[in-house]
Structure 1
């Protein structure tokens, strides 16, 4: 039974229409794709300039025929009541309304018109089909957070039932809870896992300690899809070994949908059907393929709310092999607000610090998970969960690695904890700067 499709239809999302549109877009040839993108870019800008009072004010000098005249918007620009930002004819009642996770530090409520949201789901159906996953019939093991208030909790449980998925809590990653996960996998014909990278990695570490391969426990499994947090190569290797299935990295945002999805060749294929992705420098100039910069995205079909040249807050690079029809995300560096500022004036991605430390820590096999916080310009605290406290030699090795990859003279502090604080969503923010 196509329960997922039915639930979308009942909510007014025209999934059949958007499936047809997606196939039409995908059939456009490479040499005609620039025309398609230009037409959609001009159309969505013209629409918002005519029907969206907020955007008229924000982009008062914009010319739909001159892309360079279109201003870049940030999350800060959108932090005002949603009613101020909706286009004429749209309301909370006739739109899909949700909120961003706040992982960037700038949360806000947004809206998508129902056609746009249905098109997002058409794209997800398409990507998952690359791995023989059907959202209507394939059972999902879901490692996500869940609202703890009664109304929000049962609403998510209902959505899980309609979405043919079973949700495992990411707020308790104890061995006791993971034992219950194993029992559920033994009795359920799950076809794929989906969820936050850090939580799924912890589950894989548990399996490794138990000398178990999940595919042996649940033979119906086909693929694992991780999202919302960075996936390091060492973690991918661990997941593939302990799960016995391919591991796919998904990059997306609540307000935009799937931005990039890895194919079977481990290439991050960017969604160019209903999104337009640019890489910009600090002066909002477009960078060529292969150059690192800010990821800026235009939602080509969202008429309810403008996301036009929207600075997502991430830093990345498009591959030199990219084309307009098939852009490839070469690197996703991390969020712009997760940069390490060092006493010398040097800056680095926060995940660089995390990665260096992670490499040393995981050699011991003792530490389960950890986070890094920048307390002052030269002071960093590493909070970690482990079976036993770190030895002094481990701390010395970590400090030496930091000096090698960043700079000398940094004060590195360590604090062992019973558990780490996660965001309300259940995500684990791996690096945070208080500067």
Structure 2
């Protein structure tokens, strides 16, 4: 546009090239520019991040302790909600700091903001509610810019740049007119094309194929379950996505569990590296698969702990609740915040480079059995998955616990499961868990997803004690 105007006005060739350069720079940095325009100082955040990462391992330990102390002191002095929450606690003893949960935060946002902040000078969003406890949260502008700085840094490990790398986005999209066009505009600014996850039919996937053939996508990014379904479609068609779209470099999956077998399928059918991402909208990017294939935790802006049921810190290698402190959010406290997930830190973790060895599931995904035994809900999903998908008939499925001894498997398939398959599943449930469990099967045309497009792989309707 600028170059066209320059020609019309009759500018010299030198001036035309000058305006062409301005336009090129504008287009090359559109994502950063959109953050800056909205008040998020991305350049400042990137400088802060660079300074953090330049520190030695020893200096980094000092940095983390300093930031922990600074953030708790700030909120005790400037946040009435948090001051009340920690009343009478010895703040010099980190292990005595109370654990926060989503339920603690389910009160008006205004009452949770620090003194210098209001609804007009913070970034406001809400969690998806997939944990069962949705709430609205806030970040100050520097904190939110740091979130994007970390994300950009991690994607950069794979030569992906939010300003110019074209993304094939597998997410939900609001169906109301205002929300729909708002997301489409954000997609434009972020150089991405959105494939809706609400239609995973073969007809929709045929359209996806044509789009990949005609577009120079650099990477795929989105919900695990929908991307896996696309890979299964490619497998049935005997296609490799990289051969259809040679510019592809990587696939980043997020928000839902990625099983080893699914990762192998994605790598085979896409012909590119598959990267596992773990994050929470109210916090930050929590972990991202690095080039050594480790799930590297974001230690620059977060402090991650693994705690037992009595809130004691567990040794590396032991399974427990993931509790996270946001080191930079001054607008809203997330200090020793129980995110609701269960995981294990690797024995090779260091303060500067902690490694998430395993993400097991959500605490509210636990199934309580008639004997009193507890099992992670994804155990049922995993047991069933090995049997139910081996012939390729079942596209996807979810499991619901409807009663203490009853589980319903809802699946999408071209035809019903055989009696043999159903008996195999029942036998495996008995072998891995306990006898006398009732398993019901229900075939549907499509699975119900949340408004965001996520698929809740396991859910329990049993009321569990708080």
For Structure 1 versus Structure 2, the TM-score category normalised by the shorter chain is over 0.9
How far apart, in 1, do the equivalents of 2:380 and 2:193 lie? 35
Mapped pair 1:224 → 2:258: no
Mapped pair 1:140 → 2:167: yes
Q: Deviations over 1:31-53 (max 9, x none)?
A: 12221111000100010001111
2:325 corresponds to which residue? 298
Which of 186, 199, 202 pairs up with 1:172? 199
**Secondary structure at 1:118 match in 2:** helix
1:265 corresponds to which residue? 292
Q: Displacement of 1:62 after TM fit?
A: 3.2
Q: Deviations over 1:401-434 (max 9, x none)?
A: 1111111110000000011111111000000000
**Secondary structure at 2:312 match in 1:** coil
Mapped pair 1:81 → 2:111: no
Q: Displacement of 1:18 after TM fit?
A: 0.9
Q: Deviations over 1:49-107 (max 9, x none)?
A: 01111101111123432212211000000001101101112122111100001010000
Contact 1:61 1:69 (8 Å CA) reproduced: no
Mapped pair 1:107 → 2:130: no
1:12 corresponds to which residue? 39
Q: Displacement of 1:277 after TM fit?
A: 0.2
Contact 1:14 1:118 (8 Å CA) reproduced: yes
1:32 corresponds to which residue? 59
1:247 corresponds to which residue? 274
Q: Deviations over 1:195-237 (max 9, x none)?
A: 0000000000111111110000100000000000000011001
Q: Displacement of 1:356 after TM fit?
A: 0.5
Number of equivalent positions: 435
Contact 1:295 1:313 (8 Å CA) reproduced: yes
RMSD, aligned α-carbons: 0.7
1:22 corresponds to which residue? 49
2:383 corresponds to which residue? 356
TM-score relative to the length of structure 1: 0.99
Runs of 4+ in 1 over 4 A off after TM superposition: none
| Aligned counterparts, 1:55-74, within 5 A | 55-74=82-101
1:163 corresponds to which residue? 190
Mapped pair 1:344 → 2:371: yes
TM-score relative to the length of structure 2: 0.93
Q: Displacement of 1:27 after TM fit?
A: 1.0
Q: Displacement of 1:266 after TM fit?
A: 1.6
Q: Deviations over 1:303-324 (max 9, x none)?
A: 0000000000000000000011
How far apart, in 2, do the equivalents of 1:52 and 1:336 lie? 29
1:412 corresponds to which residue? 439
